[in-house]
Chain A
Amino acid sequence: MKLLWQLFITFARIGVLTFGGGLTMLPMLKYELVEKHKWITEEELLNYYSVGQCTPGIIAVNTATFVGYKKKGVFGGIVATLGMVMPSLIIILLVASVLSAFIDNAYVGHALSGIRAAACALMVNTVVTLVRKNVVDIFCIVVFLVALAISLLLDVPSVAIVFVAGILGVVVSVIKRRRAAK
């Protein structure tokens, strides 16, 4: 019981102290899980992290489920995840209800216009970073451009694009390996 509570509180604290998610929370996870509680080793953390990145869902949540499961089974995974989720729920619900009360105020409107322009700049920057990191060879460039064209011009669900791209990834990897074997 004490361990469950610790899992919950630790991940809630990580949630409160993380801005952004993804890679930005790695130092925080390392401090809390490896150094402070010694629940996992640094190597395990990196393993969980890379699994969290290549499974669907929010990376922070996936890591929380992983660590919770390792310490206390299925229930531990659920409790750690709930701990991770709690700060977002509370903080966003508070901010959202306050913001919606002031949304018709002229100053808030001007501020939000500026904020939207900044949000756009940050998002475009994220996309540029993602492309630099993940579009690494000719196959990737082709997939990127075709997926971009399809999603811009046609009304194809994102799920279908992810699915087909995954299959193509396997096919091309197999062909590559065969060629390398020859």
Chain B
Amino acid sequence: MEQSISRRGFLKAAAATSAALAVSGETSTFFDQPGQAFADSASKRTMYKTACHGCAHCCAVKAYVEDGVVVKLEGDPDGPLNRGGMCLKGLSQLHTVYSPRRVLHPMKRVGERGENKWEAITWDEALDLAGTQIAEAVKKYGGYSLWTAQGGGGAYIQAETRGINATFGGCNTVASGSNQCAMPREMITKATLGFQGCVNMGDMGRFVGCWTAEAFKTRVPEPEDRLFVIWGLQPTANGVAHTGHALTDARALFGAKTIVVDPYLTSEASKADVWLPVRPGTDSALLLAWIRWIIDNKRYNEKYCKYWTNLPFLINPETKLPYEATDIWPDYVNPAIDPNGIYDTPAYVCFDEKTQSVQPFPYTAPDDSPVDPAIFTTAMVNGVEAKTAGQIWWEEASPWTLEAAAETCWLEADKIEEALELYVSIENSGITGGVFSEQQECTSAVPLGMVMIDAMMGRVLTPNSSYVKHGKNSIPTHRPTLRIAEGREMCERYGVGWMIGWTKEHNDEYLSSKVQAWNDQGRDGEAMRKQFVQAMFDTLGSNAHKGMHQWTQSALKETREAIITGEPYRPRVNYEVSGNKYMVVSPALEWQKAYAEQDFIIQQFPNMTSFTVDCVDLFLPTEEWLEFDNYGDNGSSMIRSYARQQVVHMGEAVNPFVVPWHVTHSAIEALGEENCFDAHATDGFFYETIESARATFAKKLGKNSWDEVLADQDHLYTEISPEDYFIFNQHETIVDDGLPAGFATMSRKVEPYCSLLIRLARTGFPYMYPFDQPACDDYDPICKFKEPSESPLTDTEYPLVLTNGRVPHFHHNTMRHAPFVRECMPAPELKINPVTAAEYGINHGDWVKVTSRRGSCSLVAYLTEGIAPGVLITERFWNPECFDDTQSSITAGFEECNCNVLGAEFQNDVFSSNSYRALQVKIEKGSKPDRVWVESSEFEPFMPTRQNEANKEEVF
């Protein structure tokens, strides 16, 4: 530590000199220190293996360096999924790493916000400023005045900032990639299945990868039928060379069939066996129609439903929770009870077909069950009429005939049935849902419906299911357990949260030990835990939307409102570790008003964005992916997890996992450790020096040092052998209590009736145990359909329904400053049916002004028969050219072409997700906004200019 401080002191002088030179436009050649990756690359071409970070996934790639400059990138043929492929997002790193937009020194705002005027300062000055601002706010207004913000899966650093909050007793984190992406699907699959199912497109690789080991190695087709139901996701536009390549291989080599549910004729849809262009916002109705058809036609797996799901459980109509056997028969002896009192396997209550009576339903292997439980029935329990969970699902689904769904979803009943016949006929299949549901009100309903369908078919832990576990370590040896929160380490740290599968006694004992551990350190453990839980209760929006505890998140709407109104308190200082927030939070213009109210905003990122220009006070430059060493973050390529290595390194850009350590510790120093809630809350997330980061990465890779890792250039990854990777039907494994392992759920079975959501709403269980968070309205434990708050059925003023999707050219807010990408896709397209376009006099290529109740933006019309009349689709966009030096006047570039200004704050109750999709707009012929570039030649100022920038050693 002492060593690094002294080195930092030395480099500070160097940095000041080079900063001045950089600002004056000269190229610095002082203090060049050849780094390890480029040490001997002069005048010859050297190849370095690394892993792309152009999106949320990871393709193995090769970088070629000449004279310290990366001159070529290409996909690594050894990559398990990309097999040599590298998409335009990844390839364009060759431009963005050397982009004139790169910031290589800390920058302090000198003009007004929005003027884009900056002064280069030293890292010492920057960290002092950051630390002082945070500390002063915490001192004056308390820990809640600090809030942090993260990106999504494509950001170089994502779900780690909760530790910064905890350090200072804060509690609010806003991420573009949580409530609005992946987190809800993760939570629902964990709550219903006991493990994380295929919740994002990254997992599509795993999903497609559910081949046998032999097939994976040889890619030789086997004679089984395979089917993927791709519901609202675009693997070929997201992980283009990763998930897209895998899906393409599955189709071409294995003859895999696909059903695609998507409003637009995506590339997936264009190659699908059946395409169901569902009306945006009505997916829940279609899911219920699938469920109804499968039940009505008795196509479900009856034995699986009876013995491996909670569908036969009788539900107490008062509590909405399943009856446990001891509720009815207090003296009932549960045969699955753990004599050691550690594991919990409750017995429930069913209607037994054999005895035609209500009976206890203990957990057993299916063939050992004393009962033959009815799935769909109603029975009298203690004089009360109770339905089974299956019956509750059936009654919800029963209005949704194919005809009813066709009418609501704007589909053809025959097509829905064609899809269903295909789905039920191919056993090796499953449904994967995309991010669409998390950007509208049906966030929790859709994954519940998807789980129900696959669970009814018994397609869990089976080949080609979305719900599979990998590797020998995933084979259970005892009753499976799960602490479902992704932020579990934070709750666990302070002795909060219920481990599913443990008894109450064992949970209490464990949590008490955590409290005691703090006592042993001289802290009041119980007081700390109460303070932590209070902060969780005080997290903005967390009372109404308790599902956000899954990733320890705040609600966008409630956070925005709190900043504006100061109620219940005002977050004042923001630390943002991702790029252009205006691209990913909506309604963007309302957020702009909130950000204007902030006392101080710190951002770390490789380049400035609209967000930087519009509201940032202190900008901390971080490295591009060719510049940073990393392992363990977004590095999964099915059987392998890849490390990234530093290939070049310019200026004073710092590893994104190192900057937060220094910001946090600068604030701790300014505040005094004794005034922090937990000065070590970020330990393990962030690193003081690149050396400490490398040591950690090396250890995770099973190596003694980072040098040892680099010495084996061809193996910058850990690997699970294909034989050990594909392990199906793990729930049938007999474990140490003599019973089949089952699932890490409350009942040890798949729970399509998600009673955990009921308990969550009422007390915050399981996250907040042993404390009770004040109750909110119950959450629905099953999928229900609700017409979106803004609907084309009733909206005459804004008659068109708009949704959005992905294009392969960008990952969320990336690559708008990559010149070769922009000339391929200069402006966001508004896909519109020619019939609708004609109604508005709009021609192909026309600029269109699109207006919702929140604002307007300009998009380019793309006329296509690939979308229904009355439905529109576009993608989010921003225009970094709007604040280019060549412009005579500037804007921040997020309003012009960004459909995110149209988004609404209609929320999902469980997760608080806003509505960015399935909302109502009106359109008219428009014109190209000022400053926006569309011609190839206009992008010249984005061409790379920094190839001559000297490679420098890390600052920290």
Q: Do A and B bind each other?
A: no
